[in-house]
Amino acid sequence: MGHRKIREYHIGERGLSDIVQSSSLSLGKEALLNRIPLLGVLLLALQGPAWAHSPQTAPVSSVVITREVHTRLDGHFNLVQQDGHAASDLDFRGTPLLIYFGYTNCPDTCPLDAQTIGATVDILDGRGERVTPIFVTVDPERDTPSRLKTFLAAFHPRFVGLTGTLAEIRRVTAAYGAEDDRVNEKPSGAYDMLHPAIAYLMGWKGEFLDLIRLNDDPHQVAETVAALLKGGH
């Protein structure tokens, strides 16, 4: 069982700045499979376990973000969907978005957060509040459209996976103030990615509404999203 340290970042008017490293989190393969029954099938479908890049010491592999109120973010993007078609933020006008930055080889955080986002979307659907979940890879060199499609199918049928060239992804992560650095690089070529373990809630017109923590129960996350949408409509 590997350990990883959670690094906390703060999004302020000048962008993303490191605040503090908090306690290490231990989460093994068996624990994750117990929380996501479909993940076992998913790992086989991806032709290799996501656990291959799980850190064995205690390096940084994901981040938790806090922020100042009224932070401005540039939410524009022009990328490629998991079906191979071009997609931009303008294509989603009229529907709020829950945008998450992650990668399919993520050893623990991304599958858990994707599960929470999928469950939150289902809860909101049941209340008549439609939100589109979007997963933007921070690892475009490995995350092809087809790989994203296979990965996201386990979490929600409306999940939109987005990838692109390394330069295109870097532009988007910079626009959102999201970290996307490689960490734990190994002689074999394997590596992990630093990324924000949090979702960005965007409004009907593409405006940034708030950052959504995903470590709460999906019902609580849905309540938070619904309240923000009510106040931003």
Residue 66 has pLDDT above 50, yes or no: no
Distance, in Å, from the CA atom of 9 to the CA atom of 80, rounded to the nearest integer, reads 28
- Separation of alpha carbons 164 and 141, rounded Å: 9
Per-residue pLDDT band for 218 (boundaries 50, 70, 90) equals: very high
Q: How confident is the model at residue 19 (pLDDT cuts 50, 70, 90)?
A: very low
Confidence (pLDDT) at 215: 84
Phi, psi of 169 (to 5 degrees): -65, -40
**Higher pLDDT, residue 174 or 203:** 203
Residues in the chain: 233
Is 62 in contact with 109 (CB distance < 8 Å)?
Answer: yes
Residue 91 confidence (pLDDT) above 60: yes
Between CA 85 and CA 8 the distance in angstroms is 35
**Which alpha helices (H) appear in 74-206, and where do they start and end?**
109-126, 145-152, 166-175
More confident residue, 62 or 95: 95
Q: Is pLDDT of 70 > 80?
A: no
> Has residue 52 got a pLDDT over 50?
no
pTM of the predicted model as reported, rounded to 2 decimal places: 0.74
pLDDT exceeds 90 at position 196: no
Pick from 61-65, 81-85, 86-90, 91-95: least confident: 61-65
Reply yes or no on whether the pLDDT at 62 is more than 80: no
Q: Which amino acid is at 136?
A: V
Tell me: the pLDDT tens digits for 21-45? Answer: 322 233 333 443 344 444 333 333 3
Residue 219 or 58, more confident: 219
What is the chain's mean pLDDT, rounded? 75
Domains delineated in the chain: 3-232 (3.40.30.10)
Q: Which two tokens stand for residue 143?
A: 């995350």
For residues 41 and 141, the model is more confident at 141
For residue 201, pLDDT beyond 90: yes
pLDDT grade for 231, boundaries at 50, 70 and 90: confident
